[in-house]
Amino acid sequence: MRQIVELQQQLVPDLLDVMKKRYTILHQVMLSDLVGRRTLASTLSMTERMLRAETDFLKTQGLLEIHSGGMRISELGKLLLEELEPLYKTMFGLSELEEAIRSHYGLNQVIIVAGDSETSSQTKRELGRAGCQVLSKVMQPNDVVAVTGGTTIAQVSNQLVSTSALKTNWFVPARGGLGESLDYQANTIASMMAKRTGAQYRLLHVPDHLGEEAFASIMQEPNIQEIVEVIRSARIVIHGIGDAMVMARRRRLDREVIDEMEAEGALAEAFGFYFDRKGAVVHKMQTVGLRLEDIVKTEVVIAVAGGKSKGEAISAIMRFGHNDVLVTDEAAALEMMALIELERQ
């Protein structure tokens, strides 16, 4: 496919430029669900006149629907985008980037979406949509899926759909709560995923950070023991990745603990554990949810994280060596690639 794209670029370069532009318009409309022409023109940095010509063409092709409230992509348009995605990634060099990162970290699959989810809400939605597609493909009947919290995994839950009810599947929180916005709590995300797919769910009503006495006491409760057993039996874990110091402050860890973690080189956080840049665990938290040994034994571990500033943290978690699939964005992937090239020098 790459050879064909290169030949087209030499023979009819305008063709690829037009294709990229129309693909981008359709893709942006899909992410926006329903959007007005003025808003879309501003988002894409195009003049309204230029955009009108393109959207009129896409409408005549049956790819866009024009409504009083704005425009929406048609089912035919969605199908076209899905079929064009491999070509689009080749045109923008994302396929090569995916393979380079996949082979370096020994992953089963890497999916990269264009853009930077730190600066673009549309890219963050696309990151969530890509995470949905991966999760939908790997889920099997009777699966238990453990999910972590965070804004990116919340985007996955917001867009997860199923053509038929997954009545034998369970969604559970991987850990307890952080005491922040309910929208981003693992409990909320697990219940949302279950409701959107017709699956079942269980909740874990305990804080994420517990002292030894509180931990010992809670673990004696039969109801807690039962849900913990379900969580630790998960075949699939889908998780985000955070900056270690940011997450430590969000968990309200003692200043002494944070200073100690910083001295040990804590760079990234995932599943409630803290890792240095080599992927080694430098700090473990007493948790009622998934333990490190549970992650190691989990059959499918999916990381969904993006943003330029997260590149180094994502690299650290990939070096941990127990992820199977990485869903990230172009900005983070380029940072990861820069780190890979430094290692090779």
What are the Cα distances from residue 59, in Å, to 25, 164, 220, 313?
A: 12, 30, 62, 43
pLDDT of the residue at 287: 75
CATH number of 93-344: 3.40.50.1360
Residue 315, classed as helix, strand or coil, is helix
Separation of CA 265 from chain center: 25
Question: Is 190 exposed, middle or buried, given 0-12, 13-18 or 19+ CB atoms closer than 10 A?
Answer: buried
The string over 267-300, giving b where at least 16 C-beta atoms fall within 10 Å of a residue's C-beta and e elsewhere, is: bbbbbbbbbbeebeebbebebbbbbeebbeebeb
**Range 2-84: architecture per CATH:** Orthogonal Bundle (1.10)
Phi, psi of 246 (to 5 degrees): -60, -45
Query: CA 197 to CA 157: how far, in whole Å?
Result: 10
Which phi-psi region, left, alpha or beta, contains residue 109 (left: φ > 0; alpha: ψ -120 to 50)? beta
Residue 332 pLDDT more than 90? yes
pLDDT of the residue at 3: 63
Residue 103, classed as helix, strand or coil, is helix
pLDDT of the residue at 173: 94
Residue 179 pLDDT more than 70? no
Per-residue pLDDT, averaged over 275-303, amounts to 89
> Residues 294-321: pLDDT tens digits?
999 999 999 999 999 999 999 999 999 8
Domain boundaries, the chain: 2-84, 93-344
pLDDT tier at 138, thresholds 50, 70, 90: very high
If you average pLDDT over every residue of the chain, what do you get?
88
Closest CA relative to residue 239, chosen from 275, 280, 197, 209: 275
Give the start-end residues of each E strand in the chain: 64-67, 70-73, 109-113, 144-147, 170-173, 200-201, 236-239, 242-243, 268-270, 273-275, 281-283, 300-304, 325-329
Query: CA 71 to CA 55: how far, in whole Å?
Result: 9
Residue 35 pLDDT more than 60? yes
Per-residue pLDDT, averaged over 195-223, amounts to 81
- Look up residue 160 and give its DSSP letter: -
Per-residue pLDDT, averaged over 12-37, amounts to 83
Read off the tokens for 53: 């010509």
Element of type H or E holding 136: helix 121-138
> Residues 59-110: pLDDT tens digits?
999 999 999 889 999 999 999 988 888 777 777 778 889 999 999 999 999 9
Which of 47-61, 232-246, 279-293, 313-327 has the lowest average pLDDT?
A: 279-293
Per-residue pLDDT, averaged over 107-129, amounts to 90
Residue 216 pLDDT more than 80? no
